[in-house]
Structure 1
Amino acid sequence: MPLRVGIMSFAHLHANSYAACLRQIPDVTLVGIADDDPARGQARAAQFETRYFPRYEDLLDASLDAVIVCSENARHKDLTLLAARAGVHVLCEKPLATTLEDAREMVTVCRERGVLLQTAFPCPYSPAFRHLLQAVEQGVLGEILAVNSTNHGRNPGGWFTDRALAGGGAVMDHTVHVAVLLHRLLGPARQVYAEIGNGLAHQPIDDTGLLTIDYENGAFATLDTSWSRPRVFTTWGDVTLHVIGTRATASLDLFAQVATLYSESEQRVRDLGWGPNLDLLMVSDFLEAVRTGRPVSVTGEDGLRALAIALAAYESARTGQPVPVRYA
């Protein structure tokens, strides 16, 4: 029997990719889209040939197996709890929430209700990262001493620059993607020191950040996270890791599999990715967990830990001091 899946809100730009993924996965039905913006919801429902629900509760009443939450960050908790209390499994867009209290409540309620909660981090599904992680676990690099990492992108605009809805700017948006990778390589973080600015767009929200993260195992990582890519840039950005061990070093660019197209007819340059679709791998894996009842591969706890690092970075920038990472 096909899995019945709904999407709660199309506020986040990733919702379009997830909806497209659902149409590619066998034995999955996109039952509908609920959105409190009727024009947006109706347009996306027409685009993906499904039903529009003006109320989230009505979508959840449609005998769903799972939902994907793609609202503004500050609304993740409310929609996730609504789904969990209806007994519906949840794939929630990152960051998991905008406060640790909200993230903890999401994890707790989903666990109590027996509902799967996965944070929408596609980067752990990268085959290149999985090969790197395997090499680290097998001791090929020796003891890991340090990691230098980046995550650059464009300023998305809209509600992403509204602190009340987004919880923060580039540091919130881009730190969490890399934090989940660093946790798998290095384990729990101990403290964060960060410098954060808004010098690119001069908006009242951060668009640049540089983090130094100390880990409990003695290693440290740096993370250059920003909305520094111009809108004419060929692709959305990058995620890179340079891992330094006692026996070897390794460099990784998660999105290097591209062909660059210089188009005279379009009068622009753009990158055509030919590597694996990480969103498709992520959504497929989540739905396989829903179908089989096994644990998800990227958990709500993963989302909570990544959020804790971003929030510690903001506190460090505010105080000018290193800040301990609070998971609990």
Structure 2
Amino acid sequence: MHKVKVGLISFAHLHAVSYLQALLKRQDVEVVGIADEDRERVEPYIQTYSIPYYADYHDLLNSSVDAVIISSENSRHAEMTIQAAQHRKHVLCEKPLGISKDEMQRMITVCKENGVQLMTSFPNRYIPMVVQAKDVISRGEIGRIVAVKATNKGEMIGGWFNDRTRSGGGSVIDHTVHVMDLLNWIFGSPAVEVYAEASNIFHDIEVEDTGMVHVKYANGVIAALDASWSRTRAFPYKRDLTMELIGTEGVISIDYFAQINEVYSETMGHAEWSYWGDDKDQMLIEDFITCLKEKRPVSITGEDGYNSTIIALAAYESIRLKRPVNL
């Protein structure tokens, strides 16, 4: 059996761990290396799974690897993706695809010029309740969608996420792109106007920890999103994803992280939610590998990454100008 040779570049983003675990479950994948200038960050994984280590990601790209998964700081996505494409390696890039329009366009162009796939990491598309909601809406079962109320709240992680030069922003860019990708995918209609407000309510940090993002779509839908780092460390689960899709003939309510058991343990000092639901990261990895093996286009493209991120960038422009901005 031919195995797809995959390498991981950077564990700066927490999703890298779940991606690695998903890769290791597959018989048709060989994890050929982990590249990270911070060896201490990846030491547990290279030791536990006997995976070759690269201090310089260029050395990994010069190996026989077929594809790489990039989970670096947001500001390095473009540089690493472009380098990978120039080495003829397929790429799965963590969200947001980039932190500026120009660099994202360059990423997409260079991947196409070198004949490699560029997939954006939006695992929420694989959530069964989201897939079913899209199907129901496509069949017109709740009439015409008129509005969406969504939340994507989380815990303030800290570190480079709070450094605007490396992250591109705070909670707005971190939590807007996931939901906007879902709405772009469900509606198949472009966003045309964005209005946003942001503040620091919960933490004394350089970037915003609270954001409200309002989006108008060409099809007439109006969406409102709470994109914030408002979850405290004592909260039982560190993030949420909810959407209420309001149609003329019905409403669909989605709460992805409702699939939990409540755990009360004195060792933690507070209640915990033990999530037992669908593993969206594993489904993302399965789809990425299958697309590469079958030589078909990836399901979530670089363009998809671009189209969600420009909404977040427009939100920052709206915050700066204190008015709605057109896309």
Return the TM-score normalized by structure 2.
Answer: 0.97
Find out whether 1:17 has 2:21 as its counterpart.
no
Find out whether 1:4 has 2:18 as its counterpart.
no
Aligned partner of 1:33 in structure 2 is: 34
Structure 1 contact 19–48 (Cα < 8 Å) conserved: no
Mark the CA change 1:223 to 1:266 in structure 2 (over 3 Å): closer, same or farther.
Answer: closer
Q: For the residues of structure 2 that align with 1:219 and 1:265, how far apart are their CA atoms?
A: 46
Q: For the residues of structure 2 that align with 1:143 and 1:266, how far apart are their CA atoms?
A: 46
Question: Which letter maps to 2:77?
Answer: H
Provide the aligned C-alpha RMSD in A. Answer: 1.1
Aligned partner of 2:325 in structure 1 is: 323
Instruction: Using the TM superposition, give the Cα deviation of residue 267 of structure 1 relative to its aligned residue in structure 2, in angstroms.
Output: 3.5
- Where does 1:115-264 land on structure 2 (aligned, <5 Å)? 115-186=116-187, 187-264=189-266
Aligned partner of 2:304 in structure 1 is: 302
Structure 1 contact 74–97 (Cα < 8 Å) conserved: yes
Q: For the residues of structure 1 that align with 2:41 and 2:104, how far apart are their CA atoms?
A: 27
Q: For the residues of structure 1 that align with 2:103 and 2:48, how far apart are their CA atoms?
A: 33
Aligned partner of 1:73 in structure 2 is: 74
Deviation per residue, 1:202-254 (Å, 9 max, x gap): 21211000011000111110001100000121112111110111111111112
- Would you say how many aligned residue pairs link Structure 1 and Structure 2? 325
Q: For the residues of structure 2 that align with 1:95 and 1:293, how far apart are their CA atoms?
A: 25
Q: Which runs of 5+ in 1 are unaligned?
A: none
**SS of corresponding position for 1:224:** strand
Find out whether 1:107 has 2:108 as its counterpart.
yes
Instruction: Using the TM superposition, give the Cα deviation of residue 43 of structure 1 relative to its aligned residue in structure 2, in angstroms.
Output: 4.1
Match of 1:291 among 290, 293, 305: 293
**SS of corresponding position for 2:155:** coil
Deviation per residue, 1:244-286 (Å, 9 max, x gap): 1111111111221111111235433211111110000001100
Instruction: Using the TM superposition, give the Cα deviation of residue 34 of structure 1 relative to its aligned residue in structure 2, in angstroms.
Output: 0.6
Instruction: Using the TM superposition, give the Cα deviation of residue 189 of structure 1 relative to its aligned residue in structure 2, in angstroms.
Output: 0.2
Q: For the residues of structure 1 that align with 2:154 and 2:8, how far apart are their CA atoms?
A: 25
Aligned partner of 2:93 in structure 1 is: 92
Instruction: Using the TM superposition, give the Cα deviation of residue 42 of structure 1 relative to its aligned residue in structure 2, in angstroms.
Output: 3.6
Deviation per residue, 1:1-53 (Å, 9 max, x gap): 11110001111111111111111122111111011223324443224320101
**SS of corresponding position for 1:255:** helix
Q: For the residues of structure 2 that align with 1:196 and 1:22, how far apart are their CA atoms?
A: 37
Aligned partner of 1:54 in structure 2 is: 55
**SS of corresponding position for 1:238:** coil
